Amino acid sequence: MASWTLTVRLLSLPTRRTLVAAHDVHPEPSRLLSVVELENPNGDRGWGECSALNRVGYAPESAGSSFDVLSTAPELSAPEGGQELINRFPMAMAALEMAELDLRLKQRDVSLADYLGVPRSLVPAGAVLPLADLDQSMRQATLMADLGFRRMKLKIVPSIRSGVLPKDLVRAVRSCAPTTEIHVDANGSFDAASFAEVAELAAEGVAVIEQPFSPSQVGLAADLVATGVTVAADESATDLAAIQELVRMGACSAVVVKPARLGGLYGAFELLAWCEENGVAASAGGMLESGLGRHALAVVAANQACTLIGDISPSRQWLLRDPWPDIEMEDGFVRVPSSPGVAPEPDFELLMEFTTRSVRRSLKSS
């Protein structure tokens, strides 16, 4: 059994702006992020990112809890412990999968895009607008339109929480970006009492309504799908079996594919293959990744099953400084990365500057 070295780092990256959403109305001014560095006995290295957010809420994992799992879980050294960890901590394990992929692809001088066989070299860029009042939203929309984004996804909540009807927000943004495709994302904040507010958005030309209700409110989701609008499962899309059941029940017509939530890129591509075979629309969903994670996400978006514009934007939209090179956007499209591995190497000085905790441990590999 050869010994590999795993270095787990918890980063605190300064943000340019925060993402206020239904699940996090007071986001912290920095992005906590767990990243791993995997080194084999020959000195080859690979990097992986765990995209869990700062706090538990959107998902059961956080950046800090994922750091603890990756730093201390004895099962990482036992082959039979791998699947149990994937089931319990998919986001943490997605970082390990990414690091191993990065290492092996760089050894072979092969890009992630070539390895996964994606057909596109460019993908349309999608911006996300946080919860805000109408004036702030209009300013943000104007800026995103000027930058060339092909899609804007508006975070929304019922008017009883925000004081703004979702349809009025959509109209305001549309006035600033009349040719931009508009999606909305409720993060499960609507219920039976506010059903009418979200149902009327189809008449406003909203292309996709993402996670309008909590995952338990399957009946309400099915009622909304029945109106003909595209309803995308996000928080409900925990694995392939969950999506298959939602589709069977008529509770979604699209899925937001987030590799971290699915245990990694292999899980994401398995779900995308099923979506393509079964005529279910899909988009690539972001989680405020660094440049490392954004490189991987752009490749996911280049899969032919991603028929909806996803959260594909440079990390600099959110991060003020980032150890990893960013993905490139031009004329409203992001270029699918073609360098060997998942992403280029990080800037080590920046990496060390933003590291708040670090653990180095040995892993056994057959």
Q: In the chain, what are the domain boundaries? A: 2-109+347-365, 115-335
pLDDT score recorded for residue 17: 84
Q: What number is the average pLDDT over the span 338-355?
A: 98
**Of the ranges 19-28, 84-93, 304-313, which one carries the lowest mean pLDDT score?**
19-28
Residues 305/314, Cβ–Cβ less than 8 Å: no
Question: How are the residues of the chain apportioned to helix, strand and coil, as percentages rounded to the nearest 5?
Answer: 40, 25, 35
- For residue 81, pLDDT over 70 is answered with no
Other Cβ atoms less than 10 A from the Cβ of 23: the count is: 18
Strand partners for 182: 152
Torsion of CA 48, 301, 245, 24, to 10 degrees: 60
Question: How many whole angstroms separate alpha carbon 343 and alpha carbon 326?
Answer: 9
- In this structure, which CATH number among 3.20.20.120, 2.40.50.1020, 3.40.50.2300, 3.40.605.10 belongs to the domain 115-335? 3.20.20.120
Half-sphere exposure of 262 (CA within 13 A, CB side): 26
Q: Which residues pair with 36 in a beta bridge?
A: 8, 48
Map residue 9 onto helix, strand or coil.
strand
**What distance in Å separates the CA atoms of residue 189 and residue 272, rounded to the nearest whole number?**
26
- Between 290 and 85, name the one with better pLDDT: 290
> Which of 3-17, 66-80, 188-202 shows the lowest per-residue confidence on average (mean pLDDT)?
66-80
| Tokens read off for 314 | 């440079």
How far apart CA 230 and CA 281 sit, in angstroms, is: 9
Predicted confidence at residue 28, as pLDDT, reads 78
- In the predicted model, is pLDDT for residue 204 greater than 90? yes
Out of 11-25, 205-219, 323-337, 350-364, pick the least confident: 11-25
Consecutive H or E run containing 156: none
Assigned token pair, 205? 């030309």
Per-residue confidence band for 96, with pLDDT thresholds at 50, 70 and 90: very high
Res 210 pLDDT > 80: yes
pLDDT-derived band at 85 (thresholds 50, 70, 90) equals confident
Fold of 2-109+347-365: Enolase-like; domain 1 (3.30.390)
Distances (CA, A) of 195 to 95, 187, 232, 278: 37, 14, 16, 28
Segment 172-190 mean pLDDT: 97
Q: What is residue 60's predicted lDDT score, i.e. its pLDDT? A: 87
Burial class (CB in 10 A: 0-12, 13-18, 19+), 234: buried
- Evaluate whether 346 touches 313 at the Cβ level (below 8 Å): no
Average pLDDT for the chain: 94
Calpha distance 342→267 (Å, rounded): 16
- What pTM did the predictor assign? 0.94
Range of lowest pLDDT (57-61, 219-223, 320-324): 57-61
